[in-house]
Amino acid sequence: MKVLVTGASGMLGGGVARALAARGDDVSVLQRRPSGLADEGLREILGDVCDPAAVSRAVRGQDAVVHLAAKVNVTGAWKDYVRVNVGGTRAVVDACIEHGVPRLVHTSSPSVAHAGTSIVGEGAGPADPERARGSYARSKAIAERIALTADARARRDGRGPAVVAIRPHLVWGPGDTQLVARIIRRAESGRLPVIGSGAALVDTTYIDNAVDALVAALDRCEQIRGEAFVVTNGEPRPISEIFAAWARAGGVDVEPKRIPTRVALLAGSAVDVVTALRERLGDADDVDPPLTRFLVEQLTTAHWFDQRRTREALGWTPRVSLEEGFARLAASGGEAGRLVA
């Protein structure tokens, strides 16, 4: 099968591209800068996912597309999230329709259905741009709707790809700079925060399990089309325990700094106000703030999901437990790479 993977310079996208190539698929990857995958025998296409012409050229002749390219920063200008997450998804969908590609796996996020309150044992609720929190979540909610609407239109008109949306939750592992590396850096500097009690139960996903789930979705795309699935390890742990395990894997064994929830919410709200002002002034460069209101909500509310439908539909179960994942991360020395979803 000829498969195009977008966003393969990231940890998850690169893992998917390598897994598909290892089983014998003819894999091409699309990203703005060289990723090194060409040295591993994959066809590398340089181009911007926001450029419809570049996407069309990359999609032409493919049997399937796995779309992972996204802007994932916590802060930044709304227009940039729209350009990449919304515009990029629209370009991929349009190219699949134009060239008759039969399968599209769209990588989304559980945050598209999160309205700021706890998620306790729920499935994949509908993407809701109006209630999603933060620019990333809102833009990804719009993008998921574009992808799944294309599936509905294809079933109605008989033209277009079968589409499945996969929402991996907090993907981590060796080579992760978006999550694990930040926790380790903050632990090293004595700035590792735990908001409130740190007891909120949170699901995460080890990288190998997320890769396997996306590959399984590709294989079953036409049977389970039109649905969204949250993917996790299915092992919720207190957020403070997860942070401590990641820090220890990086060689830092420190007690997290506890911040009262009310104080954190006030601080996060202040950061949001400054960020919004900078955006209006045209100075909203990506930064890594210690707190935003969205981050406080994520760190103080439970996020764990019912995985029964996901595992049944995908024919997939996680093969790497959290404990084994922590051990692998420690063996790598907390090595940092990059996370896309």
d(CA 147, CA 249): 37
Rounded alpha-carbon distances, angstroms, from residue 180 to 40, 94, 143, 339: 26, 35, 26, 9
Q: State the angle between helix axes of 88-99 and 52-59 in degrees (0 to 180), rounded to the nearest 10.
A: 40
Rounded alpha-carbon distances, angstroms, from residue 24 to 40, 83, 217, 218: 13, 34, 17, 14
Catalytic residue among 27, 89, 136, 138: 136
Measure the CA angle with vertex 125, ends 88 and 97; round to 5°. Answer: 35
DSSP letter string over 57-94?
HHHTT-SEEEE------SS--HHHHIIIIIIHHHHHHH
Active site residue 136: yes
Measure the CA angle with vertex 124, ends 138 and 163; round to 5°. Answer: 80
For the annotated catalytic residues, the residue numbers are 136
